[in-house]
Amino acid sequence: MNFIWYDLGLLALFVIFVSFFIYSRRKKMQKEGLLLLYKTPWGIKLINKIGRKYKKTMKAISWLSIISGYILMAGMVYLTYTIIKIYLFNQEIVRAIKVPPIMPLIPYIDKLVPGLPNFYFFYWIAIIIIIAIPHEFAHGIIAAYNKVKIKTTGFGFFPSFLPVFLAAFVELDEKKMNKKSKFAQMATLSAGTFANIVVAVILLGVLWLIFPLLFSSSGVVFDSYQLAILNTSQIQAIDGKQVSYLDYTTLLENTNATGLTKINTSKNNYVITKELILKEGYIEAMAQGYTIVYEDSPAINQGLEGAIIKIDGKKIKSLSDMQEEVSLHKPGDKIIFSAIINESEKDYEIVLGENPENKTEPWLGISTIEGPQKPTTKFLSKLTGFRDAHVNYIPNLGDFSLFIYNLLWWATIICLSVALVNMLPVGLFDGGRFFYLTIFALTKSEEKAKKTFSFLTYFFLFLMALLMVLWVSSFL
């Protein structure tokens, strides 16, 4: 099923519906620049009821909002520092990504950035609604708790000449807001981002619950054949031809265009492919005196590829299943591995080798690269543990499984991203005034707070401009 046509159909229906809504209420619409605002008292009673009735809960949420606000602000500052460092010192990564560092999230961005899940117009519209309504209502609810009058609620449409962008807003009485304590103001400001975090957690929980309904595990995928790093001076021959001096050009010229090329040292034999040599970073490794090769393993010699679904007819559903099944054999045993390649099943008859580190253990020679992980990476891995990176999944509902999964994935990621960006200590965002109030509370000086706030705003704008310059320079 091609969801692009369904997506464009839904977009057309949405534009027609919104256009009719705007036309039928044109007398109530207010134009501000390119924005069309529809103001209404709808939702104010509910916001006031929640904010004023559940006072203990609102107090706890106020504290949580402020704490999460500081965490998000610190996280965004650190993320900005990390990105700047990458753009300054790792421009090969910048060139590989190709997309500018400052770019609006647009439908079909997956066509510009390979590897991203599909991002349809329908996702774009649905996610804006998922983000905007809880965000604005949270501002309103905490404002109501702090007895700040809510003037109106409503929706915004942008651009006014083609209404496809939908936003929600809650208009507060700014004069009353400014008279409230710094704590009350900061709680109100950070409530929106806190709501986005809560929504992201809920969406992640939904993913956990429905993932087994959407997908079934079938087979194991592996990252690579087992690699080895040699000191280039150890290499004595390539495909039996003696070499006295080896550099990147010589290696490339003596490597077969297709198939495997043998690499001989005084102790062991290895193999290499043209594809491996042409990978990014290979030239740099050889310049430092190292040559990356594959172990001369049963898997690479038999060309094992695809998702391994059976071993000697026994179904394999996870990496641990495969490891356990292989461990039941000994070196020299012949095993039939069944794999799925482009939706077709293929059998490989493989004789297990001896593990280079323990000659008594059977060895296949594939690699599932995990490596050392930072605590935060481990935490995120566990958080998204409903999907194993080394398992091949079959969608139970066809393309519809992928459609729902990608929608929830994008919604979760974007909710977190919006929460982070919105707490940047910059005047454009809630984090700007949040930071200003923090400095004001610490220094007791409105002048110092304004100067610090102004400096930081311009500093971050400078950093954004610097990122764009570095991005452009990476391609020169």
Under 8 Å between Cβ of 342 and 415: no
Determine the average pLDDT of the residues in 312-333.
89
Q: Is the peptide bond before 395 cis (omega within 30 degrees of 0)?
A: no
Closest among 168, 172, 195, 198 to 185, alpha carbons compared: 172
Q: How far is CA 351 from CA 318, 331, 332, 364, 368, in A?
A: 22, 8, 6, 8, 20
Residue 104 predicted with pLDDT over 90? no
pLDDT of the residue at 280: 76
pLDDT tens sequence across 22-53: 888 888 888 877 778 888 877 888 899 999 99
| pTM for the predicted model, two decimal places | 0.79
Which residues contact residue 51 at a Cβ distance below 8 angstroms, ignoring those fewer than 6 apart?
A: 58, 140, 141, 142, 143, 144, 145
Which domains are assigned to the chain? Answer: 3-215+399-473 (no CATH), 224-367 (2.30.42.10)
The dihedrals phi and psi of 332, each to the nearest 5 degrees, come to 100, -15
Enclosing H/E stretch for 63: helix 55-89
Least confident piece of the model among 250-259, 372-381, 391-400, 465-474: 372-381
Residue 306 predicted with pLDDT over 80? yes
DSSP letter at 402 equals H
Highest mean pLDDT among 26-35, 135-144, 313-322, 362-371: 135-144
Under 8 Å between Cβ of 319 and 286: no
Least confident piece of the model among 217-231, 286-300, 361-375: 361-375
Q: What's the rounded Cα separation, in Å, for the pair 195 and 71?
A: 14
pLDDT tens sequence across 246-296: 888 888 888 888 889 999 998 888 999 999 998 878 888 898 999 999 999
pLDDT of the residue at 384: 54
Closest among 145, 131, 119 to 47, alpha carbons compared: 145
- Mean per-residue pLDDT over the chain, rounded: 86
Helices (H), 146-230: 174-179, 182-214
Which residues contact residue 284 at a Cβ distance below 8 angstroms, ignoring those fewer than 6 apart?
A: none
Least confident piece of the model among 24-28, 302-306, 399-403: 24-28
pLDDT of the residue at 382: 52
pLDDT of the residue at 411: 93
pLDDT of the residue at 203: 94
332: three-class secondary structure by DSSP: coil
Enclosing H/E stretch for 442: helix 430-443
Determine the average pLDDT of the residues in 377-388.
55
Determine the average pLDDT of the residues in 66-85.
92
Residue 447 identity (one-letter amino acid): E
- When pLDDT is cut at 50, 70 and 90, the band that residue 160 belongs to is low
Q: What's the rounded Cα separation, in Å, for the pair 467 and 460?
A: 11
pLDDT of the residue at 373: 43
